[in-house]
Amino acid sequence: MVTMSDVAKAAGVSRATASYALRGDPRIAPATTDRVLQAARALQYTTNLSARSLRSGRSGLIGVAIFELDFPYPSEMSAAISREVARHGLEAIVQETSNSKESEIAILQKVTSQLCDGTIFSPGKVSDEEIRDLSGGKPVVLLDDISPDPVFDSVATPCESGSEAAIRHLIEVGCRRILVVGASYDMLAEDRAAMSVSGRRLIGCLNAFENLGITPDPTQFLRPEQWQNGAARKLAHNVVDAGTPFDGVFCMTDSIALGFIRGLADRGIHVPQDAAVIGFDGINECDYYIPSLSTIATDMEDLARKAVGLLLDRIDGGDAPTRTLTADYRLVARESTRR
Amino acid sequence: MVTMSDVAKAAGVSRATASYALRGDPRIAPATTDRVLQAARALQYTTNLSARSLRSGRSGLIGVAIFELDFPYPSEMSAAISREVARHGLEAIVQETSNSKESEIAILQKVTSQLCDGTIFSPGKVSDEEIRDLSGGKPVVLLDDISPDPVFDSVATPCESGSEAAIRHLIEVGCRRILVVGASYDMLAEDRAAMSVSGRRLIGCLNAFENLGITPDPTQFLRPEQWQNGAARKLAHNVVDAGTPFDGVFCMTDSIALGFIRGLADRGIHVPQDAAVIGFDGINECDYYIPSLSTIATDMEDLARKAVGLLLDRIDGGDAPTRTLTADYRLVARESTRR
């Protein structure tokens, strides 16, 4: 029978490191974790892991509850998390919350508490207390938690630093009249809105402007009716029809950016010739769009690694204080900001 | 307590029709099913449905096993099936098979046979016999089954009729030298390949050419290394670099079409001015691409309705002979074929 020590030896690490790596602890470097997982697979140690799971009353299933599966960002993120879960010899099951409280409750109550060893949850309508009650004590890791006083471990997308980088990039390529599409300026006055994804991306923009010595005007910040291509396209029509001057646009998601660029094209405004546009998320289609889309690409593998690592640590009984990690990002400059 | 008769009365249908509609029987017209489901919801009859499930030892969970969640077509289809399952007061759980036999076996063995009342399965590597053994007697409906002698109910995408319509559309807009991107001409000689999605789309093309009195040349049929944007983009480079003449292109998926158009743009070939391009699937981004993409749009709601209907019928003990249904489609003509 293959033991943890065999895996550690094959991977050239200590037994403790191997054990941490197999639990997906984020303190172990990704390259080391990979080496340990490869050794475990080569020695068929995962079989023992599964057997251990069964003995300990675990199902080996990890829940992934995500808002909308038919948009590129949530589906690519679910796929990245599924792959990371599989790397640990476990199975991911994905559920759509459809941003409905009813559906979020059903997932936590039926799937998380009864079937899964733990769940990675993108919360929309349920409170921390409800999550705790409904999940029946099973570990939960939140994505982009908006709680000011976090109860659960969570992984955040790099909203502030990414948005700041987007604005700096537009300035660097020569833009002087920048529109921000995704949130209106006054939303920060709303209760808890500053903790939301849109609020945090807005704060990143404001930080960038301040650091650059620019005083932005509230009319530069536009909110489409939904964070979707269709609404962004309509907004672009309105902006052009109103004669608003601009030479650069930061859209808070890639889907918004693609819809906005399409809306500009409908009115004869070309990107990047007439205006540079940058998005956020790093979805696959950015590279194939005409023009290819510059974006703040959230490192989805890193996000998946951190979320699964935090969850497995709790499943294995870890009782560290609540942790909030942020996924890495990189700025990918493509045709849409080539001026 | 609300009874089936109350629901039937509220929906203005017979008790039998209401019962069939609530089971998702495909023989009931979609509009009628909608009316019955609305009445059931308004009367909170779904609560009773769930209770009945629990009494009968059912979990109320439907599995959806799909190849790759991070491509638009499979993720949009999973979302459509999830919504349809929810319309019946049940929960869908989605799993990625990643086109790996290991993963397909794990899903059937752990999730389908142990947790779900039934599964909608997109088979890649497992045989009919393996599916039957691994699913532990739980009903399974296949998507695009390639078995020549079907053992399971299945729903197919409209490969033959859709591809035929695509070729006819290119001819109608004036194309005379058409490329087909997705499968090589000689694949039909391979064992069982004629039943695969690519084989069936190829057959649709050949039928169209024959009906139009055109004798196609084998060199018109091109197979990218994978059915993905990146491989299609590279193929477009090769086609242009080789000096191959063409004025129309049918790509067997939208993702292939978007990659191919991008590859043409890289070489200074513009769509639709220099060549018309049409895809297949009907993914959301077709409408926002520049140029917007003409496509054979599989009616995903229809596909979901048929697949869930067939499955619920089996779960409720239906013992009809094995059925194979085909999803509807519509041709959506957009900028990429506007000549």
Cα separation, B6 vs B40, whole angstroms = 9
- The band of A32, judged by pLDDT with boundaries at 50, 70 and 90, is confident
CB A62 within 8 A of CB A89: no
Cα separation, A32 vs A61, whole angstroms = 24
Distance in Å, alpha carbon of B158 to nearest chain A alpha carbon: 21
Q: Count the residues in chain A.
A: 339
Tokens 């499968």 found at: B183
Low-confidence ranges of chain B (pLDDT < 70): 1, 23-26, 44-56
Output A24 or A61, whichever has higher pLDDT: A61
3-class DSSP state for residue A182? coil
Cα separation, A91 vs A50, whole angstroms = 11
- The band of A1, judged by pLDDT with boundaries at 50, 70 and 90, is low
8 Å CB contact of A95 and B98: no
Cα separation, A322 vs A209, whole angstroms = 33
Q: Which of A81, A119, A288 to mutate to test the interface with B (most CBs of B within 10 A)?
A: A288
Q: Out of B59, B93, B285, whose CB is closest to A285?
A: B285
Output B254 or A18, whichever has higher pLDDT: B254
- Residues of chain A neighbouring B98 (CB-CB closer than 8 A): 82-83, 86
DSSP notation for A197-233: HHHHHHHHHHHHHHHTT----GGGEE--SSSSHHHHH
8 Å CB contact of B94 and A69: yes
CA A308 to chain centre: 13
pLDDT beyond 60 at A51: no
State which residue of chain A sits closest to B229, comparing Cα positions: A288
CA dihedral A77, A79, A83, A86 (to 10 degrees): 120
- The band of A99, judged by pLDDT with boundaries at 50, 70 and 90, is confident
Cα separation, B122 vs A132, whole angstroms = 35
Task: Tell me the residues of B at the A interface, defined by beta carbons under 8 Å apart.
Answer: 59-61, 68-72, 75-76, 78-80, 82-83, 86, 91-96, 98, 103, 106-107, 110-111, 115, 229, 233, 258-259, 261-262, 265, 284-285, 287-290, 292
State which residue of chain B sits closest to A80, comparing Cα positions: B70
pLDDT the model gives residue A286: 97
Output A137 or A207, whichever has higher pLDDT: A207
pLDDT the model gives residue B3: 76
Query: How many helices and strands, by DSSP H and E, does chain A display?
Result: 13, 12
Peptide linkage before B272 cis (omega within 30 of 0): yes
What is A1-57's CATH number, 1.10.260.40, 2.10.109.10, 2.60.40.10, 3.40.50.20?
1.10.260.40
pLDDT beyond 80 at A128: yes
Q: How many CB atoms lie within 10 A of CB A41?
A: 14
Residues contacting residue B154 through CB under 8 Å, at least 6 positions apart: B141, B142, B143, B144, B145, B310, B323, B324, B325
- The band of A44, judged by pLDDT with boundaries at 50, 70 and 90, is low
pLDDT the model gives residue B51: 46
pLDDT the model gives residue A43: 77
Long-range contacts of A188-195 (CB under 8 A, 24+ apart): A192/A146, A192/A148, A195/A146, A195/A147, A195/A148
- The band of A68, judged by pLDDT with boundaries at 50, 70 and 90, is confident
What is A159-298+331-337's CATH number, 3.40.50.1260, 3.40.228.10, 3.40.50.150, 3.40.50.2300?
3.40.50.2300
Distance in Å, alpha carbon of A190 to nearest chain B alpha carbon: 32
Q: How many CB atoms lie within 10 A of CB A115?
A: 19
Residues contacting residue B203 through CB under 8 Å, at least 6 positions apart: B159, B160, B163, B188, B194
Cα separation, A163 vs A221, whole angstroms = 13
Per-residue burial over A58-88, b = 16 or more CB atoms within 10 Å of its CB, e = otherwise: bbbbbbbbbbbbbbbbbbbbbbbbbbbbbbb
CB B65 within 8 A of CB B97: yes
Q: How many CB atoms lie within 10 A of CB B52?
A: 12
Q: Out of A61, A107, A265, whose CB is closest to B290?
A: A265
- Residues of chain B neighbouring A292 (CB-CB closer than 8 A): 262
8 Å CB contact of A110 and B91: yes
pLDDT beyond 50 at A262: yes
Annotated domain spans of chain A: 1-57, 159-298+331-337
Cα separation, A107 vs B92, whole angstroms = 10
Mean local confidence (pLDDT), A239-246: 97
- Residues of chain B neighbouring A86 (CB-CB closer than 8 A): 98, 103
8 Å CB contact of B86 and A98: yes
Distance in Å, alpha carbon of B115 to nearest chain A alpha carbon: 8
8 Å CB contact of A95 and B94: yes
Q: Which of B66, B70, B99, B277 to mutate to test the interface with A (most CBs of A within 10 A)?
A: B70
Instruction: Give per-residue pLDDT as tens, B96-134.
Output: 888 788 888 888 888 888 889 999 999 888 889 999 988
8 Å CB contact of B229 and A284: yes
Cα separation, B141 vs B318, whole angstroms = 13
Mean local confidence (pLDDT), A180-200: 90
Cα separation, B285 vs A123, whole angstroms = 26
Q: How many CB atoms lie within 10 A of CB A266?
A: 15
pLDDT the model gives residue A52: 45
8 Å CB contact of B91 and A76: no
Cα separation, A263 vs A166, whole angstroms = 21
pLDDT beyond 90 at A263: yes
Amino acid (1-letter code) at residue B40: A
- Residues of chain B neighbouring A75 (CB-CB closer than 8 A): 69-70, 72, 75, 79
Cα separation, B145 vs A43, whole angstroms = 36
Output A96 or B46, whichever has higher pLDDT: A96
Q: Helices A229-241 and A254-266: crossing angle, nearest 10°?
A: 40
Mean local confidence (pLDDT), A248-270: 98
